[in-house]
Structure 1
Amino acid sequence: MKTSLTRRTYTDLPAHPLSVSIARTYVARILADWERAELTDDAQLVMSELLTNAIKATQSARQPNDLTHGMSAGYECDPWLGLHQVSDDVVLEVWDCNRNPPKLRAPESWEVGGRGLQVVNDLATSWGYRWPKTGGKIVWAMLAVSP
């Protein structure tokens, strides 16, 4: 059943690995409130991957003497996340202050990391990124309710 409902919510979190667990709980609560609980498992996994990447990008942007990522002294750099429901689809967004675009990788079997965006690519209907005028980047992924 298609609805014309549009909902949005945002929150910011510290650039710390524990924020991923908080984000998973936040996503589950919001999707339950929006009666989209069937998307919870995929949404939590996608949000975990996007936020983990944002935390790494934020830590990279905070390196001393490195202003190539668009971060200046005193600039707030903690990531934020957003969820949007438009009709039956849900869009997950994560902002970080690093301007470098995300890269879909094909890591070797022995590599420990580098598979996060592949997970997002496999679970999301579509995904991408954009550079807001305010700086940083937003990586987004859309999840659709299966018919």
Structure 2
Amino acid sequence: MLSSNEKAVQQIDLRLKHLREDLVRFYSAFTTNPKESLANIIVAYEILLANPLVTDDLRAAAYKVREFTTIEVMGRCGTPVKPDSEIKLGDTYQASMDELGKSYRRIVEEQNRKREEYLLPGKNKRRPFKKPESLLR
């Protein structure tokens, strides 16, 4: 029988696995066919946002990637699209992809910290500072 800490660790691991799969689906949505890429990226974006671990930073980066994809695909199809207000002057597709990766790493790091707390209860908690006996005299 698993302890409550072991169950919590398993839950963290499962959530991280699902987030990783959702991000892989998002990255894999791009194909050589622009229209197919657009459809895939929109669906993958919605699946990614449904993940409970997604933060505002990751959501914003994924949105920018989706917008850049839409602009590119629609431009190739002969329908120019202006970027919406979330895309700032100087933003690039590559910078948005980099933001997405950084946001994901922050989520993983935070979840790993939580995981360690469950695996090593008491070891991560700070103990009050005690002066050595020699200094008390």
TM-score computed with the length of structure 2 as normaliser: 0.36
If you compute each CA radius of gyration, which structure gives the higher value, 1 or 2?
2
Greater fraction of residues in helix: 2
- Between Structure 1 and Structure 2, which shows a larger proportion of strand residues? 1
